[in-house]
Amino acid sequence: MERLYRIEIDFVLDDRLRSKVIQAARADYRNGDAVFAVENGENVEMTAEEFVVDTKTAFLEIAESGFRAILPDIEARCFRCGIEQGVELKPPTRVVRRCRPRRIDS
């Protein structure tokens, strides 16, 4: 039986962090498979700056690249990114991985 799984992640970024996300996505794009566009009937490789043009594209590139690296045999049906308007921002909730205590023998 097939099921649809949906993951949602919220980020709150200032301009400095937006720039960092874009630069990280461009670096990741340069290390991966190129994307080609058709210009005048010919395939032309897109540069990282042409492909990752804004924060939304950057997040999509990072998400897709990470997903493909870990699960190359599973194809995601869709990657989406948007900007929410008029949303009241609440303080972040920290997600902590709980580890069971271990005794270290000397």
Digit-coded pLDDT (tens) for 16-40: 899 999 999 999 999 988 888 888 8
Confidence of residue 11 (pLDDT cuts 50, 70, 90): confident
For residues 63 and 103, the model is more confident at 63
DSSP-assigned beta bridge partners for residue 36: 45
Q: Can you tell me the distance from the alpha carbon of 93 to that of 104, in angstroms, rounded to the nearest whole number?
A: 31
Confidence of residue 9 (pLDDT cuts 50, 70, 90): confident
Check residue 88 and give its pLDDT. Answer: 77
List all residues 6 or more positions away from 65 whose beta carbon is below 8 Å from its beta carbon: 28, 29, 32
For residues 9 and 21, the model is more confident at 21
DSSP-assigned beta bridge partners for residue 38: 43
Query: For 51-100, how does the pLDDT look when each residue is reduced to its tens digit (9 = 90+)?
Result: 999 999 999 999 999 998 999 999 888 888 888 887 777 776 666 666 66
pTM exceeds 0.85: no
Q: Can you tell me the distance from the alpha carbon of 106 to that of 103, in angstroms, rounded to the nearest whole number?
A: 10
List all residues 6 or more positions away from 50 whose beta carbon is below 8 Å from its beta carbon: 37
